[in-house]
Amino acid sequence: IQGLIKSHPDVYAFAKDNKRVITRAKKASNKVGVVSGGGSGHLPVFTGYVGKGILDACAVGSVFASPSVDQIASAIRNGDNGNGVLCILGNYGGDVMNFEMACEIVASEGIKTKTIIVADDIASAKNEEKLKRRGIAGMIFVFKIAGAAAEANLSMDEVFKIAADANNNIRTLGVAVSPCTLPEAGKPTFELSNDEIEIGMGIHGEPGIKREKLRKADLLVDDLCKIILDDFKLSDKDKVTIMINSLGATPLEELYIVSKRVHENFSKLNIEIIKTYVGRYATSMEMAGMSITVLKLDDNLKKMLFSQNECPFWIN
């Protein structure tokens, strides 16, 4: 965390009351605050997305562990600019519980909050149980869109609505090729043979939907796209943006092979990809693997997604 702030002192700062809370280097004023928080080990998620046009503050937990209630409450206080705070978090039990309690604490202090629980991982629950899905790389699109809406001085209700629209129009599916190792545990989070992959593996090592033999990237991407499109029900002429995300160890060369095949799959269906983001956006320590995130765009979501921001990890 110290290295992050020293490297980008024009963007990030420690909260004065809590060294596990990161704020903008220059506090915003007279806008809805947008705050997140979660475990370490996923950079740039969560902390890296603090910055003008995205998050106002972020609570930082230990590796793969939720921030405490006090840390989250501090992030909300520091992210408050007098017009309430929208909290955006992944759908994980500890995060949800601690944010709920923190919101109750700050409510007694006069700070109004609303909450978006991101649930984009289609491997973790069926479509009819979407609210049970985990939040993974898709939450970055929600950060960006909510942050842009807040920066445009929209009301709390308007910022909440557009963030909820984004959340409802995102699907993500990933594949793990190797596990990561937690520093404190000193052993892999799960076991996977050298010739195996797991489709739908969670970013903490949660089980996926199937384990199979390693195969060519094009064949794998075809399967992933089919699962995403079957779940999403996109139609001819829909417009989307795509994120091809490394889980940590997968290099750009392999991600661009994936990106090429994703474009070919969507082009066959006349679904227009407006923009593609390729890189490390939501990681799991040194896990090898990648995820594909699809955001269906309308004019409003597109405007907010492509608005300007100041953040080292998000360039439009």
**What positions carry a catalytic annotation?**
42, 204
In this structure, the strands spanning 18-24 and 12-15 are antiparallel
Q: Which residue's entry shows tokens 């007279």?
A: 30
Query: What amino acid is encoded at 6 in this protein?
Result: K
Strands across the sheet containing 210-213: 210-213, 196-199, 170-178, 288-296, 239-246, 272-279
CA 75 to chain centre: 18
| Alpha helices in the chain, H assignment, sequence order | 2-7, 69-79, 93-107, 139-151, 156-168, 217-232, 252-268, 299-305
How many H-runs (helices) and E-runs (strands) does the chain carry?
8, 12
By C-alpha distance, which of 64, 74, 63, 69 is closest to 22? 74
Q: Which residues contact 226 (CB under 8 A, 6 or more apart)?
A: none
Q: Are 287 and 250 in contact (CB under 8 A)?
A: no
Token pair for residue 202?
A: 């969670």
* Closest to 243 measured CA to CA, from 297, 205, 192, 300: 297
